[in-house]
Chain A
Amino acid sequence: AQRVTQPEKLLSVFKGAPVELKCNYSYSGSPELFWYVQYSRQRLQLLLRHISRESIKGFTADLNKGETSFHLKKPFAQEEDSAMYYCALSPLGNEKLTFGTGTRLTIIP
């Protein structure tokens, strides 16, 4: 069975400061890792996936298999980054997603 842990339910960061949302996973096989985001009054949507190795809205996430982590980072927070962020995992080749409990990020002006 797979498990995704997001240890912080709430995270507040000042505008312009670096952001790191933590995500750890437990899975014995090869995982696909994702970050989904839900902005206020908007639908939950994909932010990025580890296989793409891309930066979206200034966010990056590196899969660290040794530490079983997939932390989301951004060097300079912006007010529009305030949202609910979910880390998710799927077994390779399987579309079933297991989500973490989410972290609500608030950017302080």
Chain B
Amino acid sequence: DTEVTQTPKHLVMGMTNKKSLKCEQHMGHRAMYWYKQKAKKPPELMFVYSYEKLSINESVPSRFSPECPNSSLLNLHLHALQPEDSALYLCASSQEQDSKQFFGPGTRLTVL
């Protein structure tokens, strides 16, 4: 298995909702990442997990809460989001934190 999967593909939520994004890989990679991408902009790093420990938090607002339950799974819990949080959320993984990164297809999030 050489892919990163993300669910759901699309998500529409209100500002009072709580939802979660899920990312999974079975390549034995020990680093996993969340990126946020707005339209016509490059991906921006949000969080990095290395060996299931949070390695980097790019000063992301607390309404985004990452979780790494095991080496194959990465979640992003969302609550009290704002309309400006609408974006494509991308998950990636790599063998180690500075190795070649592989991206999932992303979740397109719309906050109403």
Partners in one complex: no
Identify the B interface with A (CB < 8 A).
Answer: none
